Structure 1
Amino acid sequence: MQSYKEITYRYLKGQKNRTLLTILGIILSVALISAIGTIIVSVRGALIADAIRENGSYHAKFNEMNRDSINKLMNHVGVSEAGIGKFEGSAIVQETTQGEREEYRWDIPYRYIEIEGLEDKALEMLPLNIDEGRLPKTPDEIAIEHWVANYFYKEVQLGDKIKLTVGNRVIGNDEETSDGNIIRKETFEKTGEKEYTVVGFIKPQYIWKGNLVTKGVVGLDNKTEEGSYSAYIKLPNVKDAYEKVTSIAKDLGKTENDFEYNYRVLRLYAESMSETFDKSMVILLLFVVGLIIVSTIAVIYNAFNISVLERITQFGLLRSVGATPRQIKGIVLKEAMILSIIGIPIGLFSGVFAMRVVLYIINLLKADILVFSDMKITISEIVFLISTVIGLVTVFLSAIGPAIKAGKVSPVEAVRNTGSIRKEKVGKTKNTIFIRKILGVEGEIAYKNLRRNRKRFIITVFSMVISISLFITFSSFSNFMFKMGVVESSNMGNFSIYGDIDDNAEKIYRELKDIEDIKRVYKVTFNNGEVLIKENRISKDMIKMAPMLFENKKDDLIEINNAQIFTIGDENLEVLKGLLKEGTLDIDKLNKENGVLVINSTYAHNQKTKRNSLMEGYKLKVGDKLPYASYDLDKEGADRVYKELTVAGVLEKGILDMEYNLNGSINIITTEEVLNNLLMTNDEEIDDSISRYRTNMYIDMTEDGDIENIRSYLDKLEERTPGFHYIDYAESAKENKIVNIIVSIFLYGFVAIITLISSINIINTISTNIILRTKEIAMIKAIGMTQSGIKRMVAFESLFYGIYATIFGGTIGTVLSYILFNILMRIREFQWMIPWKNIFIACIGAVIIALLSGAYPLKRINDKIIVESIKAEN
């Protein structure tokens, strides 16, 4: 009776809404899996390209090689390519100033260019990004970092010939100065002079003019047999790269101290030295895909199960005219196959299309300087195959249960249509007087409806539990990614100013403020000291993790060392309003009360894992008193003098490079007046020692500001201000902002799709639950319940479902969130907290969707005449 299977097409066409919802569930799940696979393959390719650009394409580097070893290496069967380099010596650029030597505690006599000779193959393998000109080809041509050109006695241009004094730097022993500081001693041994033609300027990752030692490259003279060489090698295959390189070294008579790996490139080829990291990534991927499969099974299973319940009578009639259980199962499984054939290809296409849309958005953000500029959507046959197999397995796992159920339907049971509604057991729901008094008759009937049909109740609650659990888990996953630093939250501005500028800080600050292209200048003045805190204001987890930090007490208060107190300029405090968790941010109030803003989260060192963990280490609240003593006010033989601070606000985190304390202590932000008061004393001797504040500055440009105008000003300022230095973060700052947006798109897009799948699940289940009870609802209307009463009854049912689902879904979601946390902890440590916010959103959202899901089917029932509804089949 193969013709029975033709009924499949009629049902699918007749129940278009059900069919479309099921197909949509398949499309979303397959699209999500294929999108994850596609983005992993595509981003991996882009990251490898970026790593090669930043770190070079070689896999390992051998040092201290003679010519004989080089020849053996070049001919080694395990090496596919080799590039040779040779250190030519250190060349003097300019004498260092006394201020620079004092600042760096380094008695280095000169600024240097470390010159390395490289042959063509080595030049190809190394990350030498030319900003202007070209790479050298001969031993008398040189390429230097472009900012160094300003440090010669005359600014160097392309094509200029420069004569450099070359020699060896001799690093001496560290010595202690009269003031107790340690200074590194260094001398220079001249070996000769060489003349080079400048043919190119190398672009460093960022410009830090405090670099006293920089890089220069020349062409390699292959005629010279003497000297120590280095070799950059590539392997034919990176699988087991670390073992292969070790084997090559052994063949050459070298030890592990004679070579080094290009870790970043190898890590991206899945050859990480840290097996824990690789395994954790695999476990994470399996966990995420597993949850997607579970969510899809829930959606599709419910769709097929509901489909079977709707057609109990049809299946019974088919059984009565001779259809076997196997043929009935075949009808349901054929539906699954048809829906798979339609949904899976569309899902595959949708996943790739979604990634192309994301890449298009990235291009709109002008992210051409990022790793994403190298990213091309890679259509991988393996990804498509895995996604298809997972999709098919998911659909048939979802369909097999309802198919078996359909095959077991007996003709008599089907004609009576008892498959979904059964008689209530006596006494099962008799104690409903209390509910009736509170919620009325509609609430009582709704409660009885829940208890009357256990299977329907379980299916509905199960759907909502799955939806709530998935939302909590994946929204927690998104939050974890931010905590782990996958999204860089700190913004160091476009430029950072540091060095010996304390005496000129105010003047520099005013000049910067007057530049039109500068949006904001953070004048950061900071001080280190000790605070006293009540024991109940320290997290128990923190004490357990790092007990040694809290061993000392004073007046029943715990001494907290390395507390850092900052100002960022009073006019900049407004930027902290968005980070304020509690309290107020009022400058006048802060000044009046000696008020401060505290950051309770901190990094603490875990003695077991030997890693730093980000956690909420403190529980300070508004109104708490914090006695603070500056280390600068310490006087030999005298007790520390504490001044009382008042907590006026608690911040989620700080800004710039002071988001969290790195020493298990507290970061504090306050006004300039409060900090001044902290460091004031009647002791003239101490006052003299702290008269110079430690000050840094961070500059934010306007959106379309002229960066060259700012650089020009800073260059001139550097020339006339001894000890002044700046770091150019302009490009990296731009990158970080765009990366924030891009990763947020991925993470929140992921959560949005999971939310959509979960919503479809709830809508499908609740709406069908009502449609299956068309006769029942019509009968209730026939005996006098109004339409508004029906709506109230259904609303109460949804509310009851929501309460049960909230309890179970919230619990399961929290457990899954904790499991996910433990997986991610293997990669980077951070503190876990119960995701109350996600639980609240998921539970309220699920109840609202459940309430809205009943609106359309109720309208459909209401539009029919009561008698027709009583006579109608479900």
Structure 2
Amino acid sequence: MKSYLSLSIKELKSQKLMTALIIIAIVLSTIMTTVIGQSIAILQNLRIEQARSFNGDRHVSFHQLTKNQVDKIKKDSRIYQAGTSIALGTSKIKDSGISVLVKEYDKIGLSNYPKLTKLKSGNLPKNDNEIALDENTLKLMGIKPKLGMTVSMNLDISLLKDTIPAYNYTANFKLSGILEDDYTGYASGIVNGIVGKGTSENFLPKRYALSSLDFKVRQQDEFQEIVNQLAKNIGLPHDSIQYNWIYLNALGIQFEKDNSNDDSISIIILVSLFVALLVLLASGLVIYNILKISVTKKIKEYGCLRAIGAEPKQLYKLIILQVLILCAIAIPIGVIVGIISSESITTMVTNILNPNILLANNNTEITELIHKNSNAYLFPLLVSSSMSLIFSLISALPSAIYASHVSPKTAMAGTTTKIKRKIRKEKTIKNFERHLAWLNLKRNKGRTIITILSLFMSITVFVALSEFSNVLDVSKSVSSLKEGDFSLTNEITGFDKSTLDKINSMKDINRTSFIKYSEYKQEEIDTNINFENSGEMLKIIGIDEQTLKDCMPSITDSTLEDFKNGSICFIKNPVAISTPGIKTKYTSLKPKDSITINKKQLEIYNTIDKMFILQGKGWLNGVDIIIYDSVYDTLTNKDKFNQINIYAKDKSDLEQIRLSIEQICKNNPGSHWISYIESDKQLKESFKQIEFLAWAVILFVGLIGTLNIINTTNTNINTRINEIGVKRAIGMSNSSLYKMFLWEGAYYGIFAAIFGSIAGYASAIIINMATIEKLDFANIPILSISQATLVSILACIIATLIPLRKVKKMNIIDCIDIN
């Protein structure tokens, strides 16, 4: 054995089927890991772009700065992309619940909000008193937009913590440009308007002519420390610091913790590693299965080699060298195909969907963006190649050890197997082929377990990945701020019961929900709550039964009855905001605490994170007491509905609902309404590209998993040709032979589907924690489990037919004598 390489190559050539199957397994595993590595990197980049588009290309904003403070911050080398803006105030649009926030930006400041620079017609404001607004906002203002026309707006402005009333004034602007419609601001009740440089000097008193500074921090690992130092250097109070939390979370930057900060980026990385590990395990099981059977078949040859002087380590090296040769062939192919696949998936996305959501002007720009990021991720390529090589070698180790430890005498004499038969009770065999298939599975439990494990991994990967796309959607952070398709709001007088009944009676209405809302300063209400912060408000919120169930999907009938009779309630605690260097206290109530409101005792059933906000009002920090509808009436002596949310049946035909809502608002002075239909469309569109790309990866992995099933089953049948020949020689018909193997394939698929679905469900629970931040056992991915189960069983059955057709044509003697 002077040349291991020549002997290894000779071995591989003599076992063409084994060689081909192992190469396929390694290629598929490398493709999988490459596609996962590249595509997850692309997905994460798209997720960042989506987050950047929602609230600006900035990390943090400092508000209410003087010119000296701005200049001092800009000189700091630790920040970059620093742009300023000056707020001229907000203008409420009558009967809409929407306010226009008018700002003057410098060049960098405007570039930090690329969504604001997309024009439908005209130009961005260049001169003072020029303004640009989106077309739909102009229509809400009752203006038929025409470039050059005068737009009159009533504006009011105040400082963040002001001791005097807001400054009100009327300003006339020249409409220089009409922006692309942006409905995402409807969720918060704020849309944007841009004015030209110098406009603030014409209208604002010096007291209000303060700037906001948007910027990014270079050393992201020291982000919070740098922000705190910058604020301290200019004496900026904590209330004047605003974090772009959606963008920071997408980037994975650790910043000051509050209820809005999450760690979904780490979940994405964890899920990616988890899926890659399952893929490699599945591939490794295939390689192990093939090599183990191959070594067992060639045990006599290895015995001869040992007899003529081969040492155990030489046989060990022989097997390992074979795998290295196969890896040298398969891994480069897998990497190339994986990269091409990632690029192809991206091309499909850019050709089908609108790239404007990702801040690109056309398909070419977004393709270049993703192509650039795809080329930049060389590390995943090295990792995927290394992992494929390592797992292939690990998979080969048991077979190599087995071959190196074979006894020459035992191997050359032939393996003697002791057969132990259990004493069984006699019973009628109803289906001979199914019975024989079951005995075949039990006869070689090791092979059966390995095959089932390989299928099990593929199913688990599919189910896990199908839930993975939900983690990537940052638009949920915005869409969660609103309810329904339409909202009618009246903060002062509210709506009476007859109005709600009238809406419910409309034929196009699916259902309604409502909010009864009262807010109090601490001294305005009789309560035993020990407030830790004097600035915290107390809010009493009455909700309907369905909204109550939405807050707690697992609520029982007895618990619901307790809510209705007013013995228990939900609590949302104030947001805990920490100020650098100052220990800030805040109220923190816990489940089972007892509170009293207006002499009515309530027990806290649980705390929730959901914010109940009246449309266009904004959320005030404080203690929210969420109670049932009728209990609210008792506690507050009020029975009006402050907000009614409407859910339509058919979203394609809403004209009649609009007309009815408009009439209701006219009949109830102080009311306003808003449609979320366009807002929902825009939010969904912002995620559609990412979702499509995620599903393309899922389907691609599912396809490779199916090929993995065929590979495993094909190996299983081709290594049992001798057995098939014997069965045919003793009289088994081709029909019975087919049925036997089809039953085996069905058994493989069924067992793998059962265990894979359980593992996939467990994976889905872990992945869902990224979005709901708690364990939710009720969210069972039935669809993806059903799809994976059906595909695996069909693939197992089909995989048995392909090699059986070849075996069927073979002579019985050839089958028995085949090596």
Q: Same fold (TM over 0.5)?
A: yes
Distance 2:513 2:552 in 1: 29
Higher strand share: 1
Q: What residue identity is the alignment partner of 2:447?
A: I
2:451 aligned to 454, 463, 467, which one? 463
1:693-729 Cα offsets, whole Å, 9 max, x none, are 9867687459xxxx9x999999999999996755374
The number of aligned residues is 705
1:229 aligned to 211, 215, 229, which one? 211
Contact 1:714 1:726 (8 Å CA) reproduced: no
2:421 matches 1:434: no
Q: What residue identity is the alignment partner of 1:465?
A: L
Distance 1:553 1:719 in 2: 30
Q: What residue identity is the alignment partner of 1:241?
A: F
**Corresponding position of 1:218:** 196
Q: What residue identity is the alignment partner of 2:51?
A: A
Q: What residue identity is the alignment partner of 1:434?
A: E
Distance 2:746 2:648 in 1: 56
2:307 aligned to 300, 314, 320, which one? 320
CA change 1:303–1:372 in 2 (3 A) is farther
- SS at 2:355 equivalent: coil
- SS at 2:418 equivalent: coil
2:414 matches 1:424: no
Q: What residue identity is the alignment partner of 2:218?
A: P
**Corresponding position of 2:625:** none
Distance 1:153 1:801 in 2: 67
**1:199 Cα deviation after fit:** 2.3
1:426-453 Cα offsets, whole Å, 9 max, x none, are xx22434535x3157767766665555x
1:228-286 Cα offsets, whole Å, 9 max, x none, are 32222222233332222112112222232221112222222211444643443333222
**Corresponding position of 1:649:** none
- SS at 1:135 equivalent: coil
Q: What residue identity is the alignment partner of 2:146?
A: Q
Stretch deviating more after TM superposition (742-751 or 350-359): 742-751
Kindly report which structure 2 residues correspond to 1:824-863, keeping only aligned pairs within 5 A, or say none.
Answer: 824-828=768-772, 829=774, 831-833=776-778, 849-850=795-796, 852-863=798-809
CA change 1:153–1:188 in 2 (3 A) is farther
**1:383 Cα deviation after fit:** 1.6
**Corresponding position of 2:363:** none
2:238 aligned to 238, 256, 279, which one? 256
**1:784 Cα deviation after fit:** 4.5
1:153-183 Cα offsets, whole Å, 9 max, x none, are 875633345566666469999xxxxxxxxxx
CA change 1:748–1:432 in 2 (3 A) is farther
5+ residue gaps, structure 1? 105-110, 174-185, 514-519, 563-604, 614-629, 638-685
**Corresponding position of 2:175:** 198
1:411 aligned to 403, 408, 411, which one? 408
2:684 aligned to 708, 727, 736, which one? 736
**Corresponding position of 2:318:** 331
**Corresponding position of 2:675:** 727
Kindly report which structure 2 residues correspond to 1:775-794, keeping only aligned pairs within 5 A, or say none.
Answer: 775-791=722-738, 794=741
Distance 2:425 2:698 in 1: 46
1:285 aligned to 267, 272, 280, which one? 272
Q: What residue identity is the alignment partner of 1:388?
A: S
- SS at 1:80 equivalent: strand
**1:6 Cα deviation after fit:** 1.9
Contact 1:443 1:796 (8 Å CA) reproduced: yes
Q: What residue identity is the alignment partner of 1:33?
A: T
Q: What residue identity is the alignment partner of 1:746?
A: A
Kindly report which structure 2 residues correspond to 1:136-535, keeping only aligned pairs within 5 A, or say none.
Answer: 136-150=125-139, 155=144, 157-161=146-150, 168=157, 189-190=167-168, 196-206=173-183, 215-220=193-198, 227-273=209-255, 274=261, 276-371=263-358, 374=366, 376-377=370-371, 378-379=374-375, 380-418=377-415, 422-425=416-419, 428-434=420-426, 437-439=428-430, 449=440, 456-472=444-460, 474-475=462-463, 477-479=465-467
**Corresponding position of 1:9:** 9
CA change 1:631–1:243 in 2 (3 A) is closer
- SS at 2:213 equivalent: strand
Distance 2:417 2:630 in 1: 83
1:551 aligned to 562, 568, 571, which one? 562
Stretch deviating more after TM superposition (313-322 or 393-402): 313-322
Q: What residue identity is the alignment partner of 1:750?
A: I
State the Cα RMSD in Å.
5.4
**1:855 Cα deviation after fit:** 4.2
Q: What residue identity is the alignment partner of 2:562?
A: E
Q: What residue identity is the alignment partner of 2:304?
A: L
Contact 2:290 2:715 (8 Å CA) reproduced: no
Distance 2:30 2:286 in 1: 13
1:753-772 Cα offsets, whole Å, 9 max, x none, are 34643x55554454444444
**1:299 Cα deviation after fit:** 1.7
Contact 1:521 1:700 (8 Å CA) reproduced: no
Distance 1:154 1:853 in 2: 66
Distance 1:125 1:551 in 2: 50
Kindly report which structure 2 residues correspond to 1:620-631, keeping only aligned pairs within 5 A, or say none.
Answer: none
Distance 2:543 2:159 in 1: 40
Distance 2:475 2:68 in 1: 48
Distance 1:525 1:631 in 2: 14
Distance 1:695 1:561 in 2: 25
CA change 1:867–1:80 in 2 (3 A) is closer
- SS at 2:220 equivalent: coil
Residue identity over aligned pairs, in percent, reads 21
1:173-205 Cα offsets, whole Å, 9 max, x none, are 9xxxxxxxxxxxx976556x6654432334452
- SS at 1:116 equivalent: strand
Contact 1:468 1:846 (8 Å CA) reproduced: no
Q: What residue identity is the alignment partner of 1:832?
A: F
CA change 1:714–1:794 in 2 (3 A) is closer
**Corresponding position of 1:177:** none
Contact 1:284 1:824 (8 Å CA) reproduced: no
**Corresponding position of 2:601:** none
Kindly report which structure 2 residues correspond to 1:639-650, keeping only aligned pairs within 5 A, or say none.
Answer: none
2:69 matches 1:69: yes
Distance 1:35 1:217 in 2: 46
Distance 1:783 1:279 in 2: 60
1:524-548 Cα offsets, whole Å, 9 max, x none, are 6678999999xxx99999358x985
Distance 2:353 2:684 in 1: 13
Stretch deviating more after TM superposition (293-302 or 276-285): 276-285
Distance 1:836 1:172 in 2: 51
**1:55 Cα deviation after fit:** 1.9
CA change 1:228–1:359 in 2 (3 A) is same
Distance 2:139 2:711 in 1: 70
**1:816 Cα deviation after fit:** 5.7
- SS at 1:424 equivalent: coil
Q: What residue identity is the alignment partner of 1:736?
A: K
- SS at 1:392 equivalent: helix
CA change 1:233–1:840 in 2 (3 A) is closer
Contact 2:463 2:761 (8 Å CA) reproduced: no
**1:50 Cα deviation after fit:** 3.5
2:104 matches 1:117: yes
Q: What residue identity is the alignment partner of 2:429?
A: I
Distance 2:397 2:328 in 1: 17
- SS at 1:201 equivalent: strand
**1:732 Cα deviation after fit:** 5.0
CA change 1:521–1:3 in 2 (3 A) is same
Distance 2:647 2:712 in 1: 60
